[in-house]
Copies of this chain bind each other. A is one copy, B any other.
C-alpha cells in the first residue's frame, strides 16, 4: 500500500490523512485569553494540542502511518525511537489497531512519558541519549524482528498526519471568520511544522509561518537562515526534552525551506514563563518543548501588534515534579 505514496508529501496527502484518522483524533480547541492578547498587542489564538489523545500531536502522524501498513506489515509489529511523545503516539495507535509495538526511549525521558507508553501495551527498550545511537539500535532491532520502523518525522505519512492539525486550525479560523497573519509551532525534527505549513499555506497563502526552538537546539533556525541543513551539537541539557533534535530531517527541511518565514529561538526562562501563562490564563498543562511557540510570542520575538496569530502548544506530557517547580518560579 505504501508504494502509492509520493516522495514528498503534498496537501492532498494531508487532506487524505485527515479523513483517515478523523474518527480517532480529538479536534482540539483554539483558546484565547484577553490577558495574553494584551501581552502581544494583537489577537493570539492557541491551538491546545495537549488535549489530543496521548497528550501531544504525535498521535496524528503515528495513527496515519499505522493505518497505511499492509496486513503483513501489521503482523510483524512496529518499532519506534522517541523521547516520549512519538513513543506514546505509536503505542496508542498500535494498541487501537492490535499491533505489537516496541519503543526505544532514552534513559532520561520524563517518567510520565515512559509510564504512559507502557500503559498502551508497548515494550520499552532504554538507551543512553548521550553515548548510544538510537538509529543503530533501532536498525538492529528492526532487522531481528522484521518490525516496521515508524520514523519520528522524516516520513510522508507522519508529516501528512501531523499536518492535519493545520487543516483543523484553518477550519477553526474560517469559523471565526479571521485570517492569520502568522502561525508558529514548536520544532524538533520538523514533522509538525512541515505538515502544518502545507495545510496553512493551502488555506491562507499569505500567512507567515515560523518554527520555534529552544536555545542550543536552534538547528532549524540556522538551517532556514543558511538555506541548507545545519546541525547543532546536542550536548546541552534542556527542559525541552521533546524537541532536542540536532538537525532538521531531509524531507521536512525540503518542505519548510520554501514555506517558512524564519525560525525563532527562546530561552529556558522564556519557556518557563510561557508555561506559567498557559497555566494561569489558559488552564492548560503544556510541557516545555510544547510551549516554545507561545514563549516566542509572549517574549516578542516577532512584532504582532494589531495582528492575528496562532501559537501551537504541541504537547502536555510533563512530570508533575518539574511542573510544580516551574510554577513555584
Task: Determine if B283 and A51 form an interchain contact, defined as CB atoms under 8 angstroms apart.
Answer: yes
Contact partner, A328, options B276, B286, B324, Cβ 8 Å: B324
- Contact indicator per residue, chain A 87-119, by CB within 8 Å of chain B (1) or not (0): 000001000000000000000000010000001
Task: Determine if A283 and B316 form an interchain contact, defined as CB atoms under 8 angstroms apart.
Answer: yes
Which residues of chain A from 278 to 298 have any CB-CB distance to chain B below 8 Å in the complex? 279-280, 282-286
Does A320 make an interface contact (CB < 8 A)?
yes
Which residues on the B side are within 8 Å of A325 (C-beta)? Answer: 324
Which residues on the B side are within 8 Å of A178 (C-beta)? Answer: none
Residue of B nearest to A325 (CB): B324
A293 vs chain B, min Cβ distance (A): 16
Residue of B nearest to A52 (CB): B283
Contact partner, A51, options B31, B92, B320, B328, Cβ 8 Å: B31
Does A26 make an interface contact (CB < 8 A)?
yes
Residue of B nearest to A38 (CB): B119
Which residues on the B side are within 8 Å of A26 (C-beta)? Answer: 29, 31
A316 vs chain B, min Cβ distance (A): 3
Does A127 make an interface contact (CB < 8 A)?
no
Q: Whole-angstrom distance between the alpha carbons of A29 and B29 in the complex?
A: 7
Does A327 make an interface contact (CB < 8 A)?
yes
Which residues on the B side are within 8 Å of A34 (C-beta)? Answer: 92, 120
Which residues on the B side are within 8 Å of A112 (C-beta)? Answer: 280
Task: Determine if A276 and B55 form an interchain contact, defined as CB atoms under 8 angstroms apart.
Answer: no
Q: Whole-angstrom distance between the alpha carbons of A45 and B305 in the complex?
A: 38
Q: Whole-angstrom distance between the alpha carbons of A173 and B125 in the complex?
A: 40
Contact partner, A29, options B28, B55, B316, B323, Cβ 8 Å: B28
A164 vs chain B, min Cβ distance (A): 17
